């Protein structure tokens, strides 16, 4: 499974690592639901570390579609929420 970390690039994560990612993803979701900035930072950083260690980096010259997109480690609650709220324009030119 291809996972993108915003601002860092893509990782190819083996399917058997997805289970542990799911658990970490739940914590991120909880943090967002509880509006807990500190918890979000911890959960996000744990999730991204897991992706980086379990996956292999996708070479720059390969164009692949990601199955999952993760915000980068410095993302604030507002950033994550804005990413989610963003729907019609802004991110992609065109």
Residues lying near other proteins in the complex (CB under 8 A): 4, 6-9, 18, 21-22, 25-26, 28-29, 32, 59-71, 80, 83-84, 86-87, 90-94
Report yes or no: 10 and 57 within 8 Å, Cβ to Cβ.
yes
Give min distance, CB of 73 to other proteins, in A. Answer: 11
> Which C-beta is closer to other proteins: that of 16 or that of 60?
60
Q: DSSP labels for 61-78?
A: T-----SEEE--TT--HH
Closest among 84, 68, 78, 83 to 22, alpha carbons compared: 68
Shortest distance in whole angstroms from residue 65 CB to other proteins: 5
Angle between helices 37-54 and 18-33 (to 10 degrees): 160
Residue 54 or 68: which CB sits closer to other proteins?
68
Compare residues 53 and 74 and give the one whose CB is closer to other proteins. 74
């Amino acid at each position: 499974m291809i996972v993108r970390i915003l601002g860092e690039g893509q990782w190819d994560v083996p399917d058997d690592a997805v289970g542990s990612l799911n658990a970490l993803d739940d914590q991120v979701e909880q943090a967002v639901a509880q509006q807990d900035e500190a918890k979000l930072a911890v959960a996000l950083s744990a999730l991204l570390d897991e992706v980086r260690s379990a996956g292999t980096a996708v070479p720059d010259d390969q164009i692949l579609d990601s199955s999952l997109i993760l915000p980068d480690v410095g993302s604030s609650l507002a950033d994550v929420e804005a990413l989610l709220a963003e729907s019609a324009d802004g991110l992609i030119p065109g």
